[in-house]
Amino acid sequence: MTALCTGSFDPITVGHYDYIRRAAAIFDRVVVAVSVNTEKKYMFDLESRVRFVKEAFEAFPNVSVAVDSGWVADLAAEHGADVIVKGVRNGTDLDYEYTIACVNKKTSGVDTFFIPSAPEYCFISSTMVREMIKHGKDYRPYVPEGVRLYGEEAKDV
């Protein structure tokens, strides 16, 4: 079975890494789709975000990286994904992701599989990491090993 994990990964965090790693242990193949939303202002450009994800998962032969610039369920079909996988940290995440899951199921027939955050990661978000970077704080414990160039590559926010 193939799973599709989507997100902006601006930047990828240890929480993202944990749920994608867990998905890679369950599914034969995992495609991590880095999202592009022209309405959103990113701290890191698409090329950097894709590179960060590739660096984080270079030791995982069953994980590949794609770019998502359209309808997620269409991307799932394009990559032969049987399911979309989303990590959820709390009830707010679940409420938001559940609505999207219902739309994807209704319009495209694709199911969504939720992986709850490990307790040690439930407070970590890309927003938190971006704020730490902006204020010169040590963000490194909150990003995967090998992904360390955030401060040097961050755009002015």
Catalytic residue among 40, 41, 106, 135: 40
Catalytic residue among 16, 21, 49, 130: 16
Question: Half-sphere exposure of residue 55, counting CA atoms within 13 Å on the CB side?
Answer: 19
Tokens of 76: 């799932």
126 assigned to active site: yes
Catalytic residue among 48, 86, 126, 130: 126
89 assigned to active site: yes
Q: At 140, is the secondary structure helix, strand, or coil? A: helix
Between CA 48 and CA 42 the distance in angstroms is: 11
Between CA 76 and CA 70 the distance in angstroms is: 11
86 assigned to active site: no
How many other C-beta atoms lie within 10 A of the C-beta of residue 156? 5
Tokens of 56: 């984080």
CB 150 within 8 A of CB 133: yes
Catalytic residue among 21, 49, 89, 130: 89
Tokens of 63: 């994980």
35 assigned to active site: no
Question: Active-site positions?
Answer: 16, 40, 89, 126
